[in-house]
Structure 1
Amino acid sequence: DVAVTAHVVSITTEAGAAMEAGGDERAAAEVLRALARHVNCLSEESKATRRRALDAIREETFDSRLSSAVLQDVFAALLRPLLKCLTDPMERCRESAVHMIADFLRSVPRPEDSLPYLIPALSQRLAGSDLPEPSEELRLAMVEVLSLVVEVCGGRLAPYLDHMVRILQRTIVDPFPEVKKESCRCAVSFAKCVPDHFHMQSESLVKPLMQTVCHQHFRVRLAAIEATGAVVQYGTGRSVDDVLSHLAQRLFDDSPQVRKGVTQVVGGWLLHLRDRYSYFHKLIPLLLSGLDDKVPEIRLLASDLWKQIGAQWEKENEEDLKDKLDFPASPPARYPTGAERPGLGCRELVVRNLCKVLPAVSRDMTDWLVTTRVKSAQLLRVLLLHAEDHSTQHLGLLLSALYRACADGEPGVVRSGLESAELIGTFVSPEVFLKLLLPHVENSFSTSSSCPAAPLAVLSAALRGSSGGALRPHLGRVGDTLAHPDVCQGSQQASYLQQLLACVRALLSTCDGDCETISLQLLQVLVTVQSAAGEPELREEAQEALRTLCRVQALDGEVELYRQHMEQLLSWLSNGLPSWSSYSVQRLQLEVIVLQSGPVIGEFLPQLLPLLQASVQPSRDPEMRLHIFILLSKLLLDASNTLDSQGRFSEHLVMFLLDLLLPNLVWHAGRTAGAIRAAALSCLLALLQGGALTGEQLIAVEEKLTPQVLACLDEDSQLSRLMACRSLFALLSLAGKHLRTDALNKIYPELLKRLDDSSEEVRATALKALGLWLSCLGKDYDTQACRPHLEFLFQQLLLHMDDPESHVQEAVLDVLKTGSTVYPTLLSREAEAVRDKHRSPAYCDRLLEHIRSLTQESA
């Protein structure tokens, strides 16, 4: 029956196995008999004999193609002699023994039988204090044998945990890089093979691995990182704290493979570490740092791992997240363009660990290493992108960190800091962040901050990230803060002004037409930036922002904007007038306003002129007065398009001359006082030549004006003398025919003195003025009563007509021809009296001929 048949089959099988085993034993016995002599030769003193013996053993075993069962028995008999050869003085013998042991381990069916002898021998040779292996190549071969043992024996190595760890402790720090790499690979395999026992000794490998993780060869560093991952994964959670700082440093490694290895290891811990929940706040920053790696492959790996971690955590905490999963919140408005919103699990992981992560990130942003600061700033941006509106409760710490980031000298840190500030504007209500941020902006100079522009930089970025609708109720406060003197006039450094301008541009781009409510404040800021900026590019940027401000209010141009706010602007400037100096920004602001507003200032003369008058009083700062007069000169030269654009400047001319110009023409000692008189003269000349002053108005102030101008003819400055001559010429042109005789007679003597001036230009101008003076002598001028004046004038002119320079002679002749119509007989007599005294009588003859022709015509 069936039972009988089965029994017969079983007996037959056992008999066959016994016969086969018996055959293997006989074969093994034969081989061992053949090897007995060679084994004995392994103890000979001759190196050659030992070497030949090893070669013969290999030939009798592996070259004879014995079965695995036979090899098992042979290996059991040869193991101890071969292990003894590991201490052979001859390196070739040790090498042959190591390779033969490896070949046996690969070939025998029960390699674990060799462990009681093999592991202690390797431990003694690699990690023992006596007779360590000196050859690098052989140490590598032995470690490879150890790796092979782990591969073929697996969990059976558990009893030899102490030996294995002792070996790896030594070989991981071996001087030979190849030994280090192989040891790290062996540690990984061993940890996976004996997970239930490995944790008892895992911490013993942490120190040697951390010594190796900074090796100069990147492949060694990578192997050490991978080994660290396995040692911690299958060890105790306490090791995480010991390795974190070392792995964090590898995030800055020059080798992409090393950084990728760190990302892979940290991601694996976050997914599989038994006690991972306790280390989330320490591991998450390391993984998230990979999201900003410069290598796309690493960024993609970090992103994939992070998504897996978030999904796993979400699944593990499904009950806790039930409401958020069933009713998912929509993304915040103005979510960063191009950014993918992280999953719920990822966001929750960051939110729940943010209070532990942020202090460390903030601290690292002040590190002395640039790379650390850059990486920390990038990490902060990633954290904020995950935290969204939950960052509100950490806003104080965040703002402090961002101030430091924006004050950093490294562009990468500043860039990431500004991106983080934009995220704050996106996710946090303006009511909240402005409440904390604006006081820092206002007090940026009163604090110990080394970079007052940092709060402004953070504010501008936050405004860019926010929405117009959310900012609308707070525009007034923001505008008042920016226009506050302590803020907009706080510094003239380019970096500070750049950030001030960035705040204005952010408001204009975010709020657009709503900025009409703070148009005045923004204009004040832009005026300040233009007045204080030293770089043309910055001034042009401010000018462009001014045009944008006009555009959002649908104004035709800058003139309309100034017309809308000119009264407030002048009042704003007047508030600080008593303290103005040459270094005051208000003086520069005034210059920007009056030059850019063009014809608008003609509409506000009652407010402008008192401001100008008060700023140029003789008691004020001389250098400031000089700048004001230069500004006035520019305005007066184009009076029809500036001061007199409305035709109302004439109503203020008397005050302008008497109260503003004349006090500054009074002589005072010193070069600065002379420069001010020259500037005031330039204003007077511009006024006289600009067309805004009429003859009647000039006659009304002539008695006070003329003496001051005449006094300036004796100035040490050639420029002042020249402008005084030109001013007299302009005065005579406007009112010469209406001047009284005594007023006219006071002018010509001073002009005559200038004919001896060292400057040819002054002499020529004085001659032109004398010619004009003669032409101004009308019917009311009594030539008989004033004969002595004319006689003196003609004599002096005739004297200069004998000048060595022909062009001077020609100019004087022209002036005397003009004078011939005033008193021809007197001039003729004076000319004849000096004719023979001149170098050449030609000019006198021409003058006399001209007089005779005039006499004949009149007859």
Structure 2
Amino acid sequence: MAAMATGDEHAASEVLRGLARHVNCLNEDNKATRKRAIELIKRETVDKGHPSSVLQGVFSALLKPLLKCLSDPMERCRETAIATITEFIRCVPKPEESLPYLMPCLAHRLGEKELPEPAEELRLSAVELLTLLVEVCGKHLAPYLTEVINILQVTIVDPFPDVRRESCKCTILFAKCVPEHFHMQAESLVKPLMQTISHQHSRVRVSAIEATGAVIQHGTGKNMDDVLSHLAQRLFDNSPQVRKAVTVVVGDWLLHLRDRYSYFHKLIPLLLSGIDDEIPEIRLLSADLWKQVGAQWEKENEDEIKDKMDFLLTPPPSYPPGVERPGLGCRELVVRNLSRLVPAITHDVTDWLVPTRVRTSQLLSVLLLHAEDHSTQHLQPLLATLYTACTDTERDVVSNCLAAAKLLGTFVPPVVFLKLLLDHVTAPCSSSHPWAPLMVLAAVLGGCSQTLLKPHLEKIANTLSQPDVCQEYHQVVYLEQLLACVDVLLRPGESDHGSVSLQLLQVLVTVQSLSTEPRLSEKALESVQLLSKVQGLDSAMELYRQHMGQLLDWLSGSVNTWSSYSPQRLQLHITVIQSGPVIGEFVSQLMPLLSSCLQPDRDPEMRMSIFTMLAKLLLDATNTLDSQGHFRDESETFLCDVLLPNLVWRAGRIAAAVRTAALSCLLALLHGGAITPGQLLCLEEKLSPRVLSALEEDSQLARLFACRSLSAILRLIGASLHPEALNTIYPMLLKRLDDSSEEVRGVALQALGLWLSSLTKDYNPELCAAHLQLLFQRLLLHLDDPDGSVQDKVLEILKKGSSVHPALLRREAEAVRDQQRSPLYCDQLLQHISSLPTDATAVS
């Protein structure tokens, strides 16, 4: 052995003797000389392929001159020096012997903030040299802990990204090589790493995350809070590799960190967040690491949980289908840390960054899936969190929170969640978002089994149908959630809905009455049909037949307080319109309600809307109000006690609008056949004055309705009217021939034609000659109307009236013939009169 060592020494001496001149040239002022010298040294040593034992001696002799070259002004010289030293370190059997000289030099070149080495590529080579030293020297670097840490503090934040990456790699190796010493100064690397963890290059961020994992793993653990927020931000990184790195690091901490039990509540959310990552690889990695964590905890705490092993292995009833139940260890970890996790969730779900809110809302579902029925203990803060989250403007946040709410319904007993939820529904915490509790309620009910929910149906339905709940708020979103709650209760199943049918129908009627969105009204109507279907009824009308009496009682209870703003007015409208012929079976109950809200002293706008509704019904009376023939028994009372009082003239535009609405209702009553001629004849003395008075209304529509109503009256009972009653009608109609509205003039002419057709043998033309003369004179005046269509209508009416008193009409026509612009129409009339039989009577 001694001989071999002597041989190596001799070989090394020979090599050094050949290099003596080159080593001396390293001190020359000429940079080309120095460059050539160091290149020749490299060529004659590490490039020559000498045995490592020979190179050891050569390296020991050349180390100091080579280290001096690291400060050479010429970049090429420094580059070759670093390359030469690196190769020596790679080749020699005892590289640690160089550390006393090499480490101070590297610390000077790399560990100064002023960057003594200006070339970034050389800084990279120098850090790679340091990494190599860590790899080959291992624990021999322990005495140089301060120098290495100082270097890494600077190079981790180096302007050159590759230097940062290499520094992070070196950090990981160094922490693993000297863990018993590294922890003493690991803390000083946290700040530079946190500066690098958000670098613009994703590969640098990955390296910084991996280095952070090693620093915390082999450090004191005091800096965990300093790095967690930065790692949490990287969970939203655009680069999947960065997110994957976070997952790996956090999983490793949860498995191997010395004080991991103290940080479970902070680390679990970071790992579980990866379970919902958009990249399948990250999702699978997170799930696998989480299973490992749970299994390890289960093994470490086997004695503590052995009593739970049996009954906790069976999934609870109604467990979400298609979802793999987490292992016992995973569930226990979440349950034991839930009291700390829920406040963090509550905080982050309102974060100003959308990705944070989305990821937090996803995490909430994952946690509840693990917590199962243990979430009952945290129900109050969980519900408050859900109320806030479901008002988020981001759709994904809302959908994730509703999924979480559904899990609450699956795991929490209904008696518990209903006590809190129904109180919040009746008294919302937020005046700006009163629909939030309803939205959460619908989701929670959707997750609860119908078997468990069945005993509570009535309580839920009674709450939803309370006026403060279903009538207080008119926002579309509120009504949508109200409807969603009803739809959840109507899920196909074995539940008996008979006990809650009325309450649900009241809610659905209210939604339709308050909705301003046609799609929402249509959806509510579909729910009405579904409600009838789940009870085995043939149609929605059967459902109304079943509850109409109760609905009318429900509405009558508050009728004395109704106004134009009352939802009950709209509820009445929906009820009577949608029930179709069924309402005809309950006329006796409906009429007092109508009479009460249509009295002249009630809200004018409310009366207008109800009259408009009644007009629609009365036009089709046989299929609505009079489907059973019962309305006719009430029609006289309705006309006298409701319609006529509303036709009395009162000052003001609103009062005029009410009279117009009442006239439309009267016209519908006369046209729809809901009043018999006999009933009408009995009421003529009361009715005619009101209608005739309406012919003088300022409203064109009112005058039109009045003219048409007179036409209807004449058609129904004109032949039965006393001559005196008839003679009070035509003068008012004649006035309307000068109306500003062509439509009113046309209807007035039609009414005059009906008036003439109503004259019977009881009407004596000789006694009433003065009336007939006035009528003929006014009609002859309009026979010369500028409007040809009016002339045609007047001619037909006069032809019809010529049989009443031909002689009188002839005289009047002859008297005005020459005064008219064209005698054509007068001539046609006279010719018609001449064609009448000579024995024609005065009465047709």
- Pair 1:615 & 2:615 matched: no
- Counterpart pick for 2:266 among 260, 277, 282: 282
- Pair 1:470 & 2:452 matched: yes
1:213 partner letter: I
2:636 corresponds to which residue? 654
Whether the 8 Å CA contact 1:638–1:690 is kept in 2: the answer is yes
- Pair 1:217 & 2:201 matched: yes
Deviations 1:375-400 (A, max 9, x none): 11111110000000010011011101
Mapped to 2, the partners of 1:800 and 1:131 lie a distance apart of 111
1:768 corresponds to which residue? 750
Percent identical: 66
- Pair 1:310 & 2:294 matched: yes
1:428 corresponds to which residue? 412
1:855 corresponds to which residue? 837
Whether the 8 Å CA contact 1:468–1:510 is kept in 2: the answer is no
Matching of residues 422-571 of structure 1 within 5 Å: 422-444=406-428, 447-509=429-491, 513-571=495-553
Q: Kindly state the Cα deviation for residue 154 of structure 1 after the two structures are TM-superposed.
A: 1.4
Mapped to 1, the partners of 2:482 and 2:235 lie a distance apart of 36
Moved more, 846-855 or 163-172: 846-855
2:146 partner letter: D
- Counterpart pick for 2:91 among 107, 118, 122: 107
Matching of residues 587-626 of structure 1 within 5 Å: 587-626=569-608
Moved more, 262-271 or 55-64: 55-64
Whether the 8 Å CA contact 2:492–2:534 is kept in 1: the answer is no
Moved more, 412-421 or 820-829: 820-829
1:542 partner letter: A
- Pair 1:397 & 2:381 matched: yes
1:134 corresponds to which residue? 118
Mapped to 1, the partners of 2:196 and 2:462 lie a distance apart of 59
Check 1:857–1:540 CA distance in 2 against 1; reply closer, same or farther (3 A cut). same
Mapped to 1, the partners of 2:47 and 2:389 lie a distance apart of 71
Deviations 1:578-624 (A, max 9, x none): 33222222221111111100011111112212222222222222222
Matching of residues 379-398 of structure 1 within 5 Å: 379-398=363-382
Q: Kindly state the Cα deviation for residue 288 of structure 1 after the two structures are TM-superposed.
A: 0.5
Deviations 1:710-742 (A, max 9, x none): 011112222221221111010011111111121
2:251 corresponds to which residue? 267
- Counterpart pick for 1:199 among 175, 178, 183: 183
- Counterpart pick for 2:668 among 663, 666, 686: 686
1:375 corresponds to which residue? 359
Whether the 8 Å CA contact 2:803–2:840 is kept in 1: the answer is no
- Pair 1:839 & 2:821 matched: yes
Mapped to 1, the partners of 2:226 and 2:492 lie a distance apart of 48
Mapped to 2, the partners of 1:125 and 1:836 lie a distance apart of 129
Mapped to 1, the partners of 2:709 and 2:47 lie a distance apart of 122
2:777 corresponds to which residue? 795
Whether the 8 Å CA contact 2:454–2:495 is kept in 1: the answer is no
Check 1:604–1:38 CA distance in 2 against 1; reply closer, same or farther (3 A cut). same
| Corresponding residue pairs, total | 841
Mapped to 1, the partners of 2:42 and 2:308 lie a distance apart of 70
What is the TM-score normalised by the length of structure 1? 0.96
Check 1:34–1:475 CA distance in 2 against 1; reply closer, same or farther (3 A cut). same
Whether the 8 Å CA contact 1:222–1:258 is kept in 2: the answer is yes
Q: Kindly state the Cα deviation for residue 686 of structure 1 after the two structures are TM-superposed.
A: 0.9
1:406 partner letter: C
Q: Kindly state the Cα deviation for residue 71 of structure 1 after the two structures are TM-superposed.
A: 0.3
SS at match of 1:705: helix
Mapped to 2, the partners of 1:422 and 1:129 lie a distance apart of 56
Whether the 8 Å CA contact 2:113–2:154 is kept in 1: the answer is no
- Counterpart pick for 1:697 among 679, 683, 691: 679
Q: Kindly state the Cα deviation for residue 836 of structure 1 after the two structures are TM-superposed.
A: 3.3
1:9 corresponds to which residue? none
1:637 corresponds to which residue? 619
1:748 corresponds to which residue? 730
Q: Kindly state the Cα deviation for residue 219 of structure 1 after the two structures are TM-superposed.
A: 1.1
Mapped to 2, the partners of 1:731 and 1:326 lie a distance apart of 87
Mapped to 1, the partners of 2:98 and 2:445 lie a distance apart of 74
Q: Kindly state the Cα deviation for residue 798 of structure 1 after the two structures are TM-superposed.
A: 2.1
Mapped to 2, the partners of 1:225 and 1:336 lie a distance apart of 36
Mapped to 1, the partners of 2:64 and 2:610 lie a distance apart of 106
Mapped to 2, the partners of 1:661 and 1:620 lie a distance apart of 13
Deviations 1:202-238 (A, max 9, x none): 1111111111111111111110000000111111121
Structure 1 segments unaligned to the other structure (5+ residues)? 1-16
Deviations 1:19-73 (A, max 9, x none): 2222111111111111111111111121111111101111211233211110000
1:710 corresponds to which residue? 692
SS at match of 2:309: helix
Whether the 8 Å CA contact 1:531–1:592 is kept in 2: the answer is yes
Whether the 8 Å CA contact 1:266–1:287 is kept in 2: the answer is yes
Mapped to 1, the partners of 2:115 and 2:565 lie a distance apart of 84
Matching of residues 16-95 of structure 1 within 5 Å: 17-95=1-79
Whether the 8 Å CA contact 2:169–2:211 is kept in 1: the answer is yes
What is the TM-score normalised by the length of structure 2? 0.97
Q: Kindly state the Cα deviation for residue 129 of structure 1 after the two structures are TM-superposed.
A: 6.5
2:762 corresponds to which residue? 780
1:160 corresponds to which residue? 144
Q: Kindly state the Cα deviation for residue 512 of structure 1 after the two structures are TM-superposed.
A: 5.6
Moved more, 823-832 or 622-631: 823-832
Mapped to 2, the partners of 1:279 and 1:580 lie a distance apart of 62
2:741 corresponds to which residue? 759
Whether the 8 Å CA contact 1:471–1:511 is kept in 2: the answer is no
Deviations 1:94-125 (A, max 9, x none): 11111100000111111111111111110111
Q: Kindly state the Cα deviation for residue 560 of structure 1 after the two structures are TM-superposed.
A: 0.6
1:4 corresponds to which residue? none
TM-align CA RMSD: 1.5
1:676 corresponds to which residue? 658
Whether the 8 Å CA contact 1:602–1:644 is kept in 2: the answer is yes
